[in-house]
Chains A and B, each alone.
Chain A
Amino acid sequence: MALSRSVLRDLIGRQLAQQVRFAASAPATQPKKPEALSQETHARKHEGSVKKVEHEAMKVADPETPKVTSMFDEWGTVYVSPYTKNWKPMPKDFKEHPDRDLANFPHPEMKLRPDKVRLGFIPDKWFLAFYEKTGVTGPYLFGIGLWSFLISKEIVVLEEEMSHMPPLLFINYMVLRLFGHKVEGYYDEVIQNDQIGPLSAVRDQELTGVKQFRSYVDTANKAYDTLLEVLPEVRRENVALELEAVYRERVNQVYKETKRRVEYLVESESVKRRFEQQHMVNWIVDQVTKSFGPEQEKKIMSKCIGDLKTLAKSA
């Protein structure tokens, strides 16, 4: 049944009126501006370990069969370096010079991750610039419109060699998502061990050396201060020790000298006495032998020989 114009007008009018009423009743609120994506948004999702949900098909009754794993288990993990956890920020209000302008020229710091990019290469800042005027889909529609214009006007010619692009981009995306975290981990180790590790080690060694020197200087200063307090007594003690040593040396000298002289006297006297004794003995013996006659001599000789024989027999 064909609808009459008046009926159509009424229907359309009612629809329009409904829309107007709906729009008027809705509160006039401005859309929330999205926050600029932070550096760590991407990392926040996958920080730590990836949630590995086991499917029921994987749970087998027989524990001897091996578990099935695939390279897609770690799809899109983000590598979090264990070395950057100890990165310390510069202390606030630290000035190398009193004139240092920290408000306009703050201390430079190395970034952990680059600025956010969409589709791999378009910075996120450009999207925010669009957002106020066009909303979330503005930049994408702008890109699609621009691309369609360029293709339709044949400013960008779609030739046969451009057909290589989509598969290559797809393969690159897959490879990066599957193995990017491993490559990043490997090169993180390389950078740490070959470039940043040695420099940090040198800096830490110099710091510890400086600290040790400071502590050594402090102890030396303390020792010097205590020494100053006891220095007079120490000096007195040293002098007293020296005097004692000299006194003892001299006493020893005296003892030796007296002993030497006394020994001399004793020796001289003993020598005299010994000489006298010997002389007397010899004189006596000579006199006795002179008083002997030849008969007595024979008797004594035979007796001596008899004694010797008996001695020899008994021996």
Chain B
Amino acid sequence: MQVSRVARGLWVKPTTMQSHTLDTKPPAYIGRTFERAGVWFWNNILYYTRFGLRDARYNPNVHGPYLPSRYYGPKDKTFAEVKVGELPAWLGRRQKGLLPTYRLIARAHARWMQNYAMVRHGGWSHVWQGLFILALLCYIECWPKYRKWQQARYHW
């Protein structure tokens, strides 16, 4: 009985530059669910918040050009001028929440940029400050490693 010869061997798909992305492409319905979910979230929730919008109390006729480093709310004492007894009342007057926190950080950053970076002859002070903070954060990340130096029996 003649048996037809079949070419046997390890058949490997030829790999090209984009083959690893083409092989593992996810199905279209997953991306589409995310898209539709995002659109629903925006239309029904985000649209009615003030995320990404300027402060509602900003009036261009009164305040002039918009600066993200300025606070367009009612005038109040700064944290340095508040006495200890007035703290609870002062804290009650402040806005609490996610968006006010983000705006506080954004205002501080914008003020720092205005003072050090967005300047005609800026210099290197903003670079050194950023590098210092970066070094500090990297040191904190490596802190567990340096605990061994502390716990060693013999030091330098």
Contacts and interface: CB of A to CB of B under 8 A. Distances in A.
The yes or no verdict on A and B being binding partners is yes
A114 B149 contact: no
A99 B60 CA distance: 10
B124 A120 contact: yes
A101 B62 contact: yes
Contact of B114 (A111, A155, A156): A111
Contacts of A84: 120
A104 B149 CA distance: 54
Contact of B124 (A100, A101, A112, A176): A176
Nearest to A98: B61
Interface in A48-89: 79, 81, 84
Contacts of B42: none
Interface string B54-84: 0000011111110100100001000000000
A292 B124 CA distance: 140
Interface string A197-238: 000000000000000000000000000000000000000000
Contacts of A113: 119-123
A108 B123 CA distance: 21
Contacts of A191: 120
A100 B128 contact: no
User: For the side of the interface on A, what is the size category?
Assistant: 20 to 34
Contact of B121 (A100, A115, A121, A184): A184
Contacts of A158: 156
B118 interface: yes
A13 B52 CA distance: 74
A7 interface: no
A188 B128 CA distance: 21
A108 B65 contact: yes
B55 to A, nearest CB: 13
B25 interface: no
Nearest to A87: B120
Given A81-B121, A84-B120, A96-B64, A154 B126 contact: no
Nearest to A153: B150
A97 interface: yes
B75 A108 contact: no
Interface residues of B, number: 32
A81 B149 contact: no
B119 A114 contact: yes
A35 interface: no
B119 A111 contact: yes
A105 interface: yes
Contacts of A194: none
A97 B128 contact: no
Given A100-B64, A105-B70, A159-B149, A114 B126 contact: yes
A120 B125 contact: yes
B132 interface: yes
Contacts of A250: none
A89 to B, nearest CB: 14
B61 A121 contact: no
Contacts of A101: 62-63
B116 interface: yes
Interface in A132-179: 154-159, 176
Contacts of B139: 156
B19 interface: no
A265 interface: no
B129 interface: yes
Contact of A105 (B63, B122, B128, B156): B63
B41 interface: no
Contacts of A154: 146, 149-150, 155
11 contacts: A99-B59, A105-B63, A108-B67, A111-B115, A111-B119, A113-B120, A114-B115, A114-B119, A117-B125, A117-B128, A159-B149
Interface of B: 59-65, 67, 70, 75, 114-126, 128-129, 132, 139, 146, 149-150, 155-156
The 8 closest A-B pairs by CB, nearest first: A121-B128, A97-B61, A117-B125, A114-B116, A157-B146, A154-B150, A157-B149, A120-B128
